[in-house]
């Protein structure tokens, strides 16, 4: 597995990371813990060194899973986690708002360190921008944690360009994480140029469109009742039917390259910038191997032009989030 540096930082990670949320949260019932420990360790053995989690995934259970699974590999792997949600005080599975007050950030950091069984958090993201807390205060709190040796790198998730600039002025950002793929291209307008200018890495989550770009989902696919894709406008049967054209395009290129649609979707992202590190998630070893294989797929400039030209004629149907969640992005 090739390595990449996140922007101008010294944080070097595998060209493809592993998004771990779905092992515990959001995509139906949580997977078997021992199976996921085995999968995480298999990922390390295959060269993956970058793992993404958050306190809210579970809550807490995903961080605990990574803490146990990756404890034999201290110093060999980079674990990113996140703060910024207010969790149900009654201990329910839902978050109840945002909370990026400095004292809360520091409390979350202490708890995450224990669950992850580490001495310092490699990359600490603000999960969503909190409109009630100036981003300068957030960056200042993380700066304090970095000076205390509890955090190594600062990141933002789903932030807008101006917020990125303001945060970076207080504490250098190593990475910004947002959804980005062939069917979610919002970051191209302002965020990616800002990151390039400032020397900040970019970590696309849902690089396979929450599974849709793999070609394994169609308009008739039924999801488990607890799967959050049931709530997403882009996953209504009508939207899936309309968006199939994008998967068909990936399939055509994949056939020619002797690859899979998922590998073409990931290879396309890797070809955009050398400081982009996608974090596809999976619960299955064969999918992990398929995703890792994308790093070896070479898309030449002609291939990229063809994809761009064909994709530009496909209008993606459906918002990526319900309105309440959409309002929390790009701020």
DSSP character string of 130-191:
-TTS-HHHHHHHHHHHHHTTSBS-EEEES--HHHHHHHHHHS-EEEEEEE-BTTB-GGGTTH
Tokens coding 271: 């070809």
- Under the banding of pLDDT at 50, 70 and 90, the label for residue 88 is confident
- Under the banding of pLDDT at 50, 70 and 90, the label for residue 92 is confident
The predicted-structure confidence for 248-282, as pLDDT tens digits, reads as follows 999 999 999 999 999 999 999 999 999 999 999 99
Please compute the mean of the pLDDT values over residues 77-95 and round it to a whole number: 90
* Architecture of the CATH domain 3-326: Alpha-Beta Barrel (3.20)
In this prediction, residue 180 carries a pLDDT of 98
Q: Has 57 been annotated as catalytic?
A: yes
Mean confidence (pLDDT) of the chain:
97
- Under the banding of pLDDT at 50, 70 and 90, the label for residue 94 is confident
The predicted-structure confidence for 300-319, as pLDDT tens digits, reads as follows 999 999 999 999 999 999 99
Q: How far apart are CA 13 and CA 28, in angstroms?
A: 29
Q: How far apart are CA 70 and CA 80, in angstroms?
A: 13
In this prediction, residue 29 carries a pLDDT of 93
Active-site residue (options: 57, 125, 180, 321): 57
Where do runs of H (alpha helix) occur along the chain?
33-45, 61-69, 102-116, 135-147, 161-170, 191-198, 237-257, 261-272, 285-293, 301-311, 323-326
Instruction: Give the domain ranges of the chain.
Output: 3-326
* Residue written as token pair 């291209």: 185
In this prediction, residue 278 carries a pLDDT of 98
Phi, psi dihedral angles at 242 (to 5 degrees): -65, -35
Q: Classify residue 233 by burial, with Cβ atoms within 10 Å: 0-12, 13-18, 19+.
A: middle
Give percent of the chain with pLDDT exceeding 90: 98
pLDDT at 90 over 90: no
pTM over 0.95: yes
pLDDT at 93 over 80: no
């Amino acid at each position: 597995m090739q390595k990449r540096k996140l922007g101008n930082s010294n944080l070097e990670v595998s060209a493809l990371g592993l998004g771990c949320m779905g092992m515990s949260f959001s995509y139906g019932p949580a997977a078997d813990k021992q199976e996921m420990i085995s999968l995480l360790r298999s990922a390390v053995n295959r060269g993956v060194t970058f793992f993404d989690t958050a306190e809210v995934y579970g809550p807490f259970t995903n961080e605990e899973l990574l803490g146990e699974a990756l404890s034999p590999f201290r110093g060999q792997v980079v674990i990113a986690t996140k703060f910024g949600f207010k969790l149900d005080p009654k201990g329910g599975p839902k978050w109840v708002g945002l909370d990026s007050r400095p004292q809360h950030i520091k409390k979350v950091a202490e708890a995450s360190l224990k669950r992850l069984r580490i001495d310092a958090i490699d990359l600490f993201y603000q999960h969503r921008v909190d409109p009630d807390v100036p981003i300068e205060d957030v960056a200042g709190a993380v700066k304090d944690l970095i000076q205390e040796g509890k955090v190594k790198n600062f990141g933002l998730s789903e932030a807008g360009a101006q917020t990125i600039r303001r945060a970076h002025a207080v504490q250098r950002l190593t990475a910004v994480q947002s959804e980005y793929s062939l069917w979610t291209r919002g970051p191209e307008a302002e965020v990616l140029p800002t990151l390039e200018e400032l020397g900040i890495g970019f970590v696309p989550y849902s690089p396979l469109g929450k599974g849709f770009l793999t070609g394994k989902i169609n308009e008739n696919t039924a999801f488990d009742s607890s799967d959050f894709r049931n709530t997403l406008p882009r996953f209504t049967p009508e939207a899936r039917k309309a968006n199939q054209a994008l998967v068909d395009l990936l399939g055509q290129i994949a056939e020619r390259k002797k690859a899979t649609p998922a590998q073409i979707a990931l290879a396309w992202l890797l070809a955009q910038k050398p400081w982009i590190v996608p974090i596809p998630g999976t619960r299955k070893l064969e999918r992990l191997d398929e995703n890792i294989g994308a790093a070896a797929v070479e898309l030449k400039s002609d291939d990229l032009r063809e994809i761009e030209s064909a994709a530009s004629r496909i209008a993606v149907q459906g918002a990526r989030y319900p309105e309440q969640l959409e309002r929390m992005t790009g701020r």
